[in-house]
């Protein structure tokens, strides 16, 4: 019987096309960073978020451990990539 491997790190990634303001113009006073995604990449991002939320929904929200679970959206500016991960908040 084959063993089923489960994901250990990420629920998925997607790439963004550009940022506004441009990465070269980011500063400590930048208050908003806009990410532009193509339709296909937006679909991948949506699927990744949905998959993570479904996993979070399996935890018992009546316990402190279950209540502390959450979703992390990591933006890798140097790779123009977004990663969705489960985390403890």
Q: Would you kindly state where each structural domain of the chain is located, as residue ranges?
A: 12-88
Half-sphere exposure of 71 (CA within 13 A, CB side): 18
Q: Residues with Cβ < 8 Å from 84, sequence gap 6 or more?
A: 10, 11, 12, 13, 45, 48, 49, 51, 52, 71, 72, 73, 74
Give the confidence band of 6 by pLDDT, cuts at 50, 70, 90: low
Tens digits of per-residue pLDDT, 39-50?
999 999 999 999
Return the pLDDT at 9: 75
Return the pLDDT at 1: 63
At 28 the three-state DSSP class reads coil
Tens digits of per-residue pLDDT, 55-73?
999 999 999 999 999 999 9
- In terms of pTM, does the model score above 0.85? no
Q: Higher pLDDT residue, 40 or 3?
A: 40
């Amino acid at each position: 019987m084959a063993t089923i491997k489960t994901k250990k790190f990420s629920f998925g990634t997607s790439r963004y096309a550009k940022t506004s303001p441009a990465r070269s113009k980011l500063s400590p006073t930048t208050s908003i960073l806009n990410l532009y995604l193509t339709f296909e990449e937006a679909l991948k991002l949506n699927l990744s978020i949905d998959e993570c939320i479904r996993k979070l929904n399996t935890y018992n929200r009546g316990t402190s451990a279950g209540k502390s679970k959450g979703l992390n959206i990591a933006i890798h500016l140097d790779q123009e990539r977004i990663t969705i991960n489960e985390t403890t908040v």
